[in-house]
Amino acid sequence: MEPALHRNTWLEINTTNICYNIKQQQKQLPPGTVIFAVVKANGYGHGAVEVARTAIKAGAKGLCVAVLDEALSLRAARITVPILVLAPIRAEDVALAQLKDISVPITSAEYWQKLVPFISAEKPLKAHLVIDSGMGRIGVRTATELSSLEQQIRQETFVELEGVFTHFATADQLNQVYFNRQLRVFEEMVAVLKERPLYVHCSNSATALLHSQLQQSSVRLGIGMYGLSPSPEIVEALPYQLRPALSLYSQLIHVKWVEGGETIGYGATYTVKAPGEWIGTIPIGYADGWLRDRTGSQVIVADQFCEIVGRVCMDQCMIRLPQRYPLQTKVTLIGQDKTKQLTADDVAHYTDTINYEIICLLSDRIPRVYTE
């Protein structure tokens, strides 16, 4: 989807806040533990390439993505730090990963056997073993399988086993019983490896924030890097105040007085109250990731909270205004406007979801503007 550069809706990404969050996290970690910045899903909606460059500038030593194409885009942008794809790639693409010096996960013996015929002899394949310690998603589940898989991998001349990792299911909860169980499984399984790889990592953002002193060589910093808490539950337990990097703005493109009793939007779901109301239109809709479930939520206009009325359309939505405002008046959907603020968590709470989903859904049609 092409960015709509000639439209009055945009995202502002504060790179100084991204740097701040990374540097604060680095201070929490033991000496020698490095940060891999997670920039999958277009940098959680913030823009993968710019976030990657910012993270590296702030001290991150590597990057994590979800799919091979994301890694290839970073390499095309001349980013040279280590990059790990967190999910299995297609076997037929393994030589391409080797060529571009991109690390891949090895999730099972069956998957490994599918990769082997495609491994190139041109340069080493960098691989990370994946342990399913209780997430139930990908990875080996027993020490026996892990030991056998390590042996098979180390027999291959053109493979470098550079890492081993797991992922926690409940690290963003205050109740740590299941987290401790997963951690114990991971540590016990890593202990059976004949050689400890360069990168041993189990920390996502929640783990890095709440358990910063775990003995591991690297952590994967995702949502925390963007200044958002992994969950509302742990906000009070965070070791430092996160600084959100993303703000979403639009402008009024149409303002009208609508008499009481008339309706607004598809399905005529909103009826204007007597004697009438000022209704404004802004150029953002569900094609931009501002979904239909936002109807009834608030935006900020001139330091006043204003409700979205009628159904959110594909490209536009309507808001009830306290008075007439001129065209091109700024509208804040996520961010600060004088004394009022709306966060990604506020939007998530209204729609009964999580902040990750709110920011990741923001489409490429919305231009990203980077500020310091």
Ligand-binding annotation for 314, yes or no, is yes
Helical spans, DSSP H, in the chain: 15-28, 40-44, 48-58, 68-76, 94-99, 109-115, 143-154, 177-190, 205-210, 344-350, 355-360
Instruction: Determine the 3-state secondary structure of 105 from DSSP.
Output: strand
Element (H, E) at 368: strand 368-371
Strand pairing of 340-342 and 330-337? antiparallel
- Residue 161: name the closest of 49, 69, 84 by CA: 84
286: annotated active-site residue = no
- Residue 26: name the closest of 225, 289, 243 by CA: 225
40: annotated active-site residue = yes
Backbone angles phi, psi at 41, to 5 degrees: 55, 50
Strand pairing of 83-85 and 62-65? parallel
CA 308/CA 320 separation, integer angstroms: 6
DSSP E strands in 202-326: the ranges are: 218-221, 246-251, 254-259, 263-264, 270-271, 276-282, 298-301, 304-309, 317-321
Element (H, E) at 274: none
Element (H, E) at 141: none
HSE-CB for 140 with a 13 A CA cutoff: 25
What does the block give as tokens for 225? Answer: 């890097």
CA 184/CA 190 separation, integer angstroms: 10
Is there a cis peptide before residue 275, judged by omega within 30 degrees of 0?
Answer: yes
99 DSSP assignment: H
Catalytic residue among 23, 266, 273, 338: 266
Which contacts (CB < 8 Å, 24+ apart) does range 96-101 have? 96/68, 96/72, 97/68, 97/71, 97/125, 98/122, 98/123, 98/124, 98/125, 98/158, 99/123, 100/71, 100/72, 100/75, 101/75, 101/126
Catalytic residue among 40, 44, 126, 356: 40
Ligand-binding annotation for 7, yes or no, is no
Kindly list the catalytic residues. 40, 266
Q: Residue positions in the annotated binding site for substrate? A: 137, 314
Q: Residue positions in the annotated binding site? A: 137, 314
